[in-house]
Chains A and B, each alone.
Chain A
Amino acid sequence: MTDSRNAATLTLDPGGNAPSLLLRGLRKSFGDVVAVDGLDLEVARGECFGLLGPNGAGKTTTIEICEGLTEADAGSVELLGLDWRTGAGELRQRIGVQLQETQFPDKLTVEETLRLFRSFYRRGISVDESVQRAQLEEKRGARVGTLSGGQKQRLAMACALVGDPELLFLDEPTTGLDPQARRHLWNLVDALKQAGRTIILTTHYMEEAERLCDRVAIMDHGRVITQGTTQQLIASLGAEHVVEFAVAERQAGKLDVAPLLAIPGVQSHRVDAGLHQLSVGELHTAVPSIFAALDGQGLELSEFRTHSATLEDVFVSLTGRTLRDE
């Protein structure tokens, strides 16, 4: 059996230059609900790709179609140059899967669970090593039912890794983890990236996508609304900063937006629950002008802050909604 020491020198099959994942015109409805609505994606080998989007955007459906668990209504799926109709057996050996929600049997121990999953793969890492990678050494002999949520998540991750996959699907791998466990998982993903694995993950956390992913696609209502590197997406806003302010309550509604938009460097304005947001290119010149303009209207501010634009702002500017408000 192949050991993980060979991991870095993984031999790819001939034709191994095909993208790790190629989706074309993917569609899937559940009754009236269109979960995936004409999706195209391409993920190169060795890339870490993030799927972002609000609840119900269709991330899980997309990823489960890729994993061969859900049949698409239309479109084509190609993984590692293979497709599910002809290469299912081979593909299952070469991909690793973590589902959004899986409860492993409570009464098996961590080690027994991993040994079971290990037995399904022709090659892979040893049970010891998967325990160690998921930092579950202390819980090795513990029943799954006694693990904390984060530990269970790590076990799910370990089960996904035990076959030493070339292509790894992680559906919300860090949801419900504490910051430390999350950072630990990030390190694990980093190590896999180093080893040349392709990783496709979904997340609600923008900072996670920014930290881990080489490229991201933002999904909404079953479509990809934009994709690219984090920097590209943020740059597409045309403004690297966001100024947020709120007007004192009794003056709410008195604000005239036009003078603000006239300030050089201010790209756009939107308001959400009384909080005004301006996309701004150059903070040092724009901020004094913004203060002056608000002052000129005789408005009193109850809040004022700035931050660097994030993927969240990209989503907001594209949909007019925030990512987590649904």
Chain B
Amino acid sequence: MNRLESSSLFQLTSMRFRLFLREPEAVFWTFIFPILLAVGLGIAFRNRPADVLQVGATTAQLSQALAADKGLTATTMDEAAGTRALATGSILLLAIQRPEGIEYKFDDTNTDARTARLLADRAIQTAAGRREAVRAENQLVHETGARYIDFVVPGLLGMNLMGSAMWGLVFPLVEARQKKLLKRMVASPMPRWQYLASFLLSRLLLLVIEVAVFLGFAGLAFGVPFRGPLWELALLCVLTSVAFSALGLLVSSRARTMEAASGLLNLVMLPMWILSGIFFSASRFPAAIQPLVRALPLTAANDALRGNMLQGMSLGQLAAPVAILLAWAAAAFAVSLRIFRWR
């Protein structure tokens, strides 16, 4: 046996690594699932050409004037039919010819309807002979980095880092406790810190594969931008994984059964799935709960990952989320090492 092989830390870490790879479900959830999710979201939210808006008009003359705008398709209908069509959403706006002029009927809380109102009015006024006071040209841009897929990829990365660290620690630890394996381990001369460290080490090894596969895919398939330094992005991933590993250790420090552990795990992760800005920006939540939302480790992780990838921010500029992650990691480690139940 050579020196490495006789090192208990090496043996423990390679045991963790082997056990992970021999668990097909774990491999799926860690490596394949985030890619499937990114593909699904990429398809659902791909940028389509600007929609053509459906509108109605009460006279053929009006319809013709409206149809002159490329952004509108117009149908002629009487007022009663038009009102019904509005109610069912098959048209966004109805232009009614009144003796004194034109009346637009539409729902002003619907953004598309408001757009239809602007386009329709411009088309009708132009047809009636209005001339622009100022000449205007359009220059169209479809920039990467501002698309939904660009927003969601760092969020998915954060979510995945959280999930794999938490599940990856909680389940094996609680299972080992339930099966009396933990007790057997501490009955041997194994240093306890090495047992816990082996979870962290194998997690970090897996992280390299996990992050590289996911971001590689996102970069190649969707052209998601990487504007910040890559090594800083790697550091942020490690920090995120360490913080959630600490949280996973905390969750698993007392639980004796799998049921108790999964309950606790959902309790911890569910608020973050909702509040931490994975699929939509966390700033949409009311100001009153913003301090809470900001303090969550996943919010900090997502902010930091987005800051690096989309805005090219440096670690210095990301000091706030980094500090939040560090604080979570330190606090969770300190508490769980104190209360960890070894039997």
Question: Does any Cβ of A come within 8 Å of B6's Cβ?
Answer: yes
Q: Give 1 or 0 for each of B3-41: 1 = CB within 8 Å of chain A CB.
A: 001111011100100110011000000000000000000
Knowing A120-B8, A163-B188 are in contact, say whether A103-B18 is a contact too (CB < 8 A): no
Question: Does any Cβ of A come within 8 Å of B184's Cβ?
Answer: yes
Question: Does any Cβ of A come within 8 Å of B181's Cβ?
Answer: yes
Residue of A whose beta carbon sits closest to that of B16: A105
Knowing A69-B183, A105-B181 are in contact, say whether A115-B11 is a contact too (CB < 8 A): yes
B190 A108 Cβ-Cβ under 8 A: no
Q: Give 1 or 0 for each of A103-115: 1 = CB within 8 Å of chain B CB.
A: 1110110001001
CA distance A1 to B1 in the complex (A): 10
Question: Does any Cβ of A come within 8 Å of B289's Cβ?
Answer: no
CA distance A325 to B180 in the complex (A): 27
CA distance A93 to B19 in the complex (A): 26
CA distance A184 to B237 in the complex (A): 53
A112 B18 Cβ-Cβ under 8 A: yes
B15 A105 Cβ-Cβ under 8 A: yes
Question: Does any Cβ of B come within 8 Å of A288's Cβ?
Answer: no
Question: Does any Cβ of B come within 8 Å of A164's Cβ?
Answer: no
CB < 8 Å neighbour of A103 from B10, B180, B186: B180
Question: Does any Cβ of B come within 8 Å of A172's Cβ?
Answer: no
Question: Does any Cβ of A come within 8 Å of B187's Cβ?
Answer: yes
Q: Chain A binding site: helix, strand, loop or mixed by DSSP?
A: loop
CA distance A238 to B187 in the complex (A): 42
Knowing A107-B18, A107-B22, A115-B5 are in contact, say whether A89-B189 is a contact too (CB < 8 A): yes
CB < 8 Å neighbour of B183 from A99, A104, A118: A99
CA distance A89 to B188 in the complex (A): 10
A107 B19 Cβ-Cβ under 8 A: yes
Question: Does any Cβ of B come within 8 Å of A117's Cβ?
Answer: yes
Question: Does any Cβ of B come within 8 Å of A292's Cβ?
Answer: no
CB < 8 Å neighbour of B189 from A101, A102, A108, A121: A121
B188 A117 Cβ-Cβ under 8 A: yes
A103 B189 Cβ-Cβ under 8 A: no
Question: Does any Cβ of A come within 8 Å of B114's Cβ?
Answer: no
Knowing A69-B343, A108-B19 are in contact, say whether A103-B181 is a contact too (CB < 8 A): yes
Question: Does any Cβ of A come within 8 Å of B84's Cβ?
Answer: no
A112 B188 Cβ-Cβ under 8 A: no
Chain B: minimal CB distance from A120 (Å): 4
CA distance A16 to B15 in the complex (A): 37
A112 B187 Cβ-Cβ under 8 A: no
Point out the residues of chain A lying under 8 angstroms from B179, CB to CB: 102-103
CB < 8 Å neighbour of A116 from B1, B11, B176, B187: B11
CA distance A251 to B234 in the complex (A): 88
B180 A99 Cβ-Cβ under 8 A: yes
Interface size classification for chain B: 20 to 34
Chain B: minimal CB distance from A115 (Å): 6
Question: Does any Cβ of B come within 8 Å of A67's Cβ?
Answer: yes
Knowing A102-B179, A112-B15 are in contact, say whether A120-B186 is a contact too (CB < 8 A): no
Question: Does any Cβ of B come within 8 Å of A92's Cβ?
Answer: yes
Chain B: minimal CB distance from A203 (Å): 19
Question: Does any Cβ of B come within 8 Å of A97's Cβ?
Answer: yes
Residue of A whose beta carbon sits closest to that of B20: A107
Q: In the complex, which residues 125-151 of chain B have their Cβ closer than 8 Å to any Cβ of chain A?
A: none
Residue of A whose beta carbon sits closest to that of B8: A119
Chain B: minimal CB distance from A281 (Å): 46
Point out the residues of chain A lying under 8 angstroms from B19, CB to CB: 105, 107-108
Point out the residues of chain B lying under 8 angstroms from A104, CB to CB: 181, 184
B15 A116 Cβ-Cβ under 8 A: yes
CA distance A67 to B190 in the complex (A): 14
CA distance A45 to B189 in the complex (A): 22
CB < 8 Å neighbour of A120 from B18, B22, B181, B190: B190
A119 B10 Cβ-Cβ under 8 A: yes
CB < 8 Å neighbour of A119 from B6, B184, B187: B6
Point out the residues of chain A lying under 8 angstroms from B184, CB to CB: 97, 99, 102, 104, 159
Chain A: minimal CB distance from B343 (Å): 6
Output the residue of B5, B22, B184 with the most chain A CB within 10 A. Answer: B184
Q: In the complex, which residues 114-157 of chain A have their Cβ closer than 8 Å to any Cβ of chain B?
A: 115-122, 126
Knowing A69-B343, A107-B23, A119-B11 are in contact, say whether A163-B189 is a contact too (CB < 8 A): yes
Query: Hey, which bits of chain B sit against chain A, CB under 8 A?
Result: 1, 5-8, 10-12, 15, 18-19, 22-23, 176, 179-181, 183-184, 186-190, 343
Extra contacts, 12 of them, besides A68-B187, A89-B189 (Cβ < 8 A), are A69-B343, A97-B184, A99-B187, A102-B180, A102-B181, A105-B15, A105-B181, A107-B23, A108-B15, A116-B12, A122-B189, A159-B188
**A-B residue pairs in contact (CB < 8 Å), sample of 6:** A89-B189, A92-B187, A105-B15, A117-B188, A119-B7, A159-B184
Closest 9 CB pairs of A and B: A92-B189, A103-B179, A119-B11, A119-B8, A97-B187, A107-B22, A102-B184, A120-B190, A120-B188
Query: Hey, which bits of chain A sit against chain B, CB under 8 A?
Result: 1, 67-69, 89, 92-93, 97, 99, 101-105, 107-108, 112, 115-122, 126, 159, 163
